[in-house]
Chain A
Amino acid sequence: SQQGEEDPQALSIQEGENATMNCSYKTSINNLQWYRQNSGRGLVHLILIRSNEREKHSGRLRVTLDTSKKSSSLLITASRAADTASYFCATVGLMAGNNRKLIWGLGTSLAVNP
């Protein structure tokens, strides 16, 4: 079942603008991850934020986490056409042997126009 819900479902911006995507989830988490997927290909891990962190940066990416609201946001600054992709948030569910499964949202489709 899908736990994360991203909004907006689709976003279209001009190159150079900032893009903000949001994710809400339902259960308690240890961490939340953001992934990127180019046109139906494999997913690429972008950033992981732990439940005791409020904000994290990686290059042009900034992720915030509000555990009281069960929500996270991904900000891409100074967007480029190459940022065009779908972005997913995923939360971690614990399984036997301390292994994890990822529970995914439906994703935000970002189009950056040149």
Chain B
Amino acid sequence: ETGVTQSPTHLIKTRGQQVTLRCSSQSGHNTVSWYQQALGQGPQFIFQYYREEENGRGNFPPRFSGLQFPNYSSELNVNALELDDSALYLCASSLEQQETQYFGPGTRLLVL
């Protein structure tokens, strides 16, 4: 176990809806990264939060947004859901300056 938790584990939404996914980082980690992983693919970097600010973003539209709280937990929000947003969403926490990331179990999102 990495100490990183995510909720919910599974979620079903319909096209056009909005969703919020949550992540609690490992104790002492101040950096959270979010990834999208489609079936049979490697993870794609969405963005990273460091000390409550977005600190780098991948090739995702603005309807993907996030927050990091003072306790370093984080949320990923996706507006106007599309069918292609169906995927496993992973968060990973890390220490500043450290390369190794510790992953949560993921949230599996299905958009119908």
Contact = CB atoms under 8 A, between A and B. Distances in A.
B33 interface: yes
Interface residues of B, number: 34
A105 B43 CA distance: 8
Interface stretch (B12-20, B66-74, B103-111): B103-111
A42 B103 contact: yes
A30 B99 CA distance: 10
B33 A101 contact: yes
B44 interface: yes
A43 B103 contact: yes
Interface in A69-114: 88, 92, 95-107
B27 to A, nearest CB: 17
A4 B43 CA distance: 11
Nearest to B88: A40
Determine the interface band of chain A, counting residues with CB < 8 A from chain B: 20 to 34
A95 B99 contact: no
B56 to A, nearest CB: 4
Interface string B84-112: 00001010101011111111111010000
A106 to B, nearest CB: 5
A102 B45 contact: yes
Interface of B: 2, 4, 31, 33, 35, 39-45, 48, 50, 55-56, 58-59, 88, 90, 92, 94, 96-106, 108
6 contacts: A40-B39, A41-B105, A43-B43, A100-B94, A100-B99, A104-B44
Given A45-B103, A97-B55, A99-B50, 19 more contacts: A2-B44, A31-B99, A42-B4, A42-B104, A42-B105, A43-B43, A43-B103, A45-B101, A88-B42, A95-B48, A97-B50, A99-B48, A100-B94, A100-B98, A100-B99, A101-B56, A102-B33, A104-B35, A104-B44
